[in-house]
Chains A and B, each alone.
Chain A
Amino acid sequence: MENEEIICIRDLHRNFQVGSEIVHALNGVTFSICKGEFVSIMGTSGSGKSTLLNILGCLDTPTSGEYILNGNSVGNLNKNQLSTLRNRLIGFVFQNYNLLARTSALDNVELPLLYNREVSAKERKERAEAALEAVNLTDRMHHMPNQLSGGQQQRVAIARAIVNDPVIILADEATGNLDTRTSYEIMTLFQELHSKGKTIAFVTHEPDIATFTTRTIKLRDGDIVKDEPIAKQSAAQALAEYEKNLKSSVI
């Protein structure tokens, strides 16, 4: 089971036509992600991280190359089929949370299940509550996004990403808007999910955040320049140390 391939891409290209010029955002990328991996995707700005993640998340289709997601060849699917794949197999976490305004945390988390006919209203609520519990927000279920801190909003977004029990969670700079302490908290949460068997692909440009993952893929100008397993650091421990330093520096 450990080697089951969730994602498999081969020689992936993504070109953008801007006026008369062609931008090669991805230049023949090849890798696979197996079940239970926690992958960080790194690279400088403009190196193609978001482009890659959009393709992995079935929001975008490659110009050429092969993409197999959980056994489905994505390349030749139509819009509706891609929507269904996103709904059933993918959990997205965005840098700016993207919660629906004036909609309670619970309703926000229920949202993906609304688009799944097989889930009844009752089951939807139960699963959303369970997801919020998994991110330690049981007491904030009925709060509106503007009543929550950034970190809490991101946790609601993570609950929304796991509520449909996806094969992979895709996060694009999920800690980009948060301070160090809250980033560590969120990473602790991701590590918890990972330890429960979730597969995660995590885009970041902060090297210390990447140390909490098990593998780093580094992009430069649309090419993979490095792809290696790393020794995972504990985010919980980092958080504890950070708080200790903070206290001593205050004293």
Chain B
Amino acid sequence: MNIINLVKIAITALLRNKGRSFLTMLGIIIGITSVIVMVSLGQSSTQGVQSQLSSMGSNMIMIMPARQMRGGVNMGNSNAKSLDLKDLKSLENNTKYVTHVSPSVSSSAQLVFGNNNHPGALQGVAPSYADIRKYEIADGIMFTDEQVKKYAKVCVIGKTVAENLFTNGEKPVGQTIRCGQVPMKVIGVLESKGENGMGQDQDDIVLAPYTTIQKRFLGISHFNMMFASATSEEESELAATEITYILRSNHNIKQGADDDFEIRTQEELLSTMSSVTQLLTILLAAIASISLLVGGIGVMNIMYVTVTERTKEIGLRMAIGAKGKDVMWQFLSESIILSLIGGSIGIILGIFISYALCTILNWPFVVSKAAIGVSFAVCAATGMFFGWYPARKAANLDPITALRYE
């Protein structure tokens, strides 16, 4: 009995019970689809997080005030005032592994131009912020250190802001917009960065000198946080150590006492985020595999029914010369074909669904070749594994008993 004949017999048998074959396949289809979708989505989110983080600059370092604990109550870190101008100056001047430092203060205000208005997120930063965050200026210029010194009423706006305020085709650069009560001159427009992995619009932003935000909007002298960039990605840990040392001495923190600030390097963030999403991917894939297992048991169940139902046929085939292994392969190829067809449909469906989901969620669409390969192998193995026992049962039947079976 050759392979072509085997496959022909198996397919004929499967077609004889179309409904049942399809339902059996459905288990495999659902299993494989969910494995592919879960792995693809997991990888998409991993890649999304990674590309988003590295687009921020892979040698970026964030410094923020530590959470304030008062009587065991976590006060959060937004109202901590530990970072100030003194820290900025010493980080600018006394470091070896830090190339740029920028403070950051945030405020919000309604932006108005002509008849248009738009709720704006104002971020007060130093000119070096553009270098640290890898912002490009599409049109105009970034403000200067000189303008920072003078609390200049200038700003650089993101694309979304520009589109919302300048609806009549005006050129944004050179126009004056009102931010709350403060008139500000637009001197630059940022290159679009699109949405980040969480679906936030990174272009809905207004950058202004930090002094301007501190004095004219908030009336504070500390910073909400600081951004720095290390000389290179590899040296970000060294830079972090250096910054820790300087800030501790600035803040007079005694040896053994906790830092009153937190430092996050991008590298660290990247690896934690990746490991979280990877863990998630594995978890999801494991859950999806259970449905594949259930599908496989479905195949086994149906193969048992099929073998019992066709006992007489098996007896007849043996009587006219089929060997045990012929019968075994006949049923094994049925379950393998069932699994492979189900698997192929599942793979196609899985790719389709992950593509749809990625489009909806605005994630990068990653289709894992490994997942497809493994799924296919798993399908064949499922067919083999779950078909083997029923097939062997068929092969070991005694022809006389099988022929008499009613």
B319 touches A59 (CB 8 A): yes
A42–B320 alpha-carbon span in the complex (Å):
24
A115–B327 alpha-carbon span in the complex (Å):
10
Can you name the residue of chain B whose Cβ is closest to the Cβ of A170? B319
Given A59-B399, A94-B403, CB of A86 within 8 Å of CB of B2 = no
Residues of A within 8 A of B12 (CB): 103
What mask results when residues 57 to 99 of chain A are scored 1 for a CB within 8 Å of chain B, else 0? 1011000000000000000000110011011100010100010
Kindly state whether residue A130 has any CB partner on chain B within 8 Å: no
Interface of B is mostly: helix
Kindly state whether residue A10 has any CB partner on chain B within 8 Å: no
Kindly state whether residue A117 has any CB partner on chain B within 8 Å: yes
Kindly state whether residue B285 has any CB partner on chain A within 8 Å: no
A171–B263 alpha-carbon span in the complex (Å):
92
Given A59-B399, A59-B400, A60-B400, CB of A98 within 8 Å of CB of B322 = no
B324 touches A86 (CB 8 A): no
B324 touches A98 (CB 8 A): no
A128–B316 alpha-carbon span in the complex (Å):
17
Distance from B249 Cβ to chain A, minimum over Cβ atoms (Å): 88
B321 touches A84 (CB 8 A): yes
Residues of B within 8 A of A209 (CB): none
What mask results when residues 380 to 406 of chain B are scored 1 for a CB within 8 Å of chain A, else 0? 000000000000000000011001000
Distance from A101 Cβ to chain B, minimum over Cβ atoms (Å): 8
A111–B313 alpha-carbon span in the complex (Å):
11
A114–B6 alpha-carbon span in the complex (Å):
9
B319 touches A86 (CB 8 A): yes
A111 touches B317 (CB 8 A): yes
* Residue of A83, A86, A98, A116 contacting most chain B CB atoms (<10 Å): A83
A88 touches B321 (CB 8 A): yes
Distance from A248 Cβ to chain B, minimum over Cβ atoms (Å): 41
B403 touches A86 (CB 8 A): no
Residues of A within 8 A of B9 (CB): 114
A115 touches B326 (CB 8 A): yes
Contact of B5 among A84, A114, A160 (CB under 8 A): A114
Residues of B within 8 A of A117 (CB): 1-2
Given A54-B400, A60-B400, CB of A111 within 8 Å of CB of B323 = no
Residues of B within 8 A of A116 (CB): 321
A102–B13 alpha-carbon span in the complex (Å):
10
Q: Which residues of chain A from 16 to 40 have any CB-CB distance to chain B below 8 Å in the complex?
A: none
B321 touches A83 (CB 8 A): yes
Q: Which residues of chain B from 304 to 356 have any CB-CB distance to chain A below 8 Å in the complex?
A: 312-313, 315-326
A87 touches B321 (CB 8 A): yes
Q: Which residues of chain B from 1 to 49 have any CB-CB distance to chain A below 8 Å in the complex?
A: 1-2, 5, 9, 12, 16
A160–B16 alpha-carbon span in the complex (Å):
22
Residues of A within 8 A of B399 (CB): 59
Given A98-B403, A102-B16, A117-B1, CB of A83 within 8 Å of CB of B322 = yes
A94–B312 alpha-carbon span in the complex (Å):
12
Q: Which residues of chain B from 289 to 304 have any CB-CB distance to chain A below 8 Å in the complex?
A: none
Contact of B320 among A54, A60, A92, A102 (CB under 8 A): A92
A79–B325 alpha-carbon span in the complex (Å):
11
A84–B321 alpha-carbon span in the complex (Å):
6
A86–B9 alpha-carbon span in the complex (Å):
21
A94–B318 alpha-carbon span in the complex (Å):
14
Kindly state whether residue A100 has any CB partner on chain B within 8 Å: yes
Residues of A within 8 A of B322 (CB): 83, 87, 115
Can you name the residue of chain A whose Cβ is closest to the Cβ of B313? A100
A30–B312 alpha-carbon span in the complex (Å):
31
Distance from B9 Cβ to chain A, minimum over Cβ atoms (Å): 8
Kindly state whether residue A222 has any CB partner on chain B within 8 Å: no
B320 touches A112 (CB 8 A): yes
Residues of A within 8 A of B315 (CB): 98
Residues of A within 8 A of B319 (CB): 57, 59, 86, 92, 98
Can you name the residue of chain B whose Cβ is closest to the Cβ of A60? B400
17 contacts between A and B (CB under 8 A): A54-B400, A59-B318, A80-B323, A80-B325, A84-B321, A87-B321, A92-B320, A98-B312, A98-B319, A98-B403, A100-B313, A102-B16, A114-B9, A115-B320, A117-B1, A160-B320, A164-B320
20 more contacts with CB within 8 A, not counting A83-B322, A103-B12, are A54-B400, A57-B319, A59-B399, A79-B324, A83-B323, A84-B323, A87-B320, A87-B321, A98-B315, A98-B403, A100-B316, A102-B16, A111-B320, A112-B320, A114-B1, A114-B9, A115-B322, A117-B1, A117-B2, A160-B320
A residues with CB within 8 A of B: 54, 57, 59-60, 79-80, 83-84, 86-88, 92, 94, 98, 100, 102-103, 111-112, 114-117, 160, 164
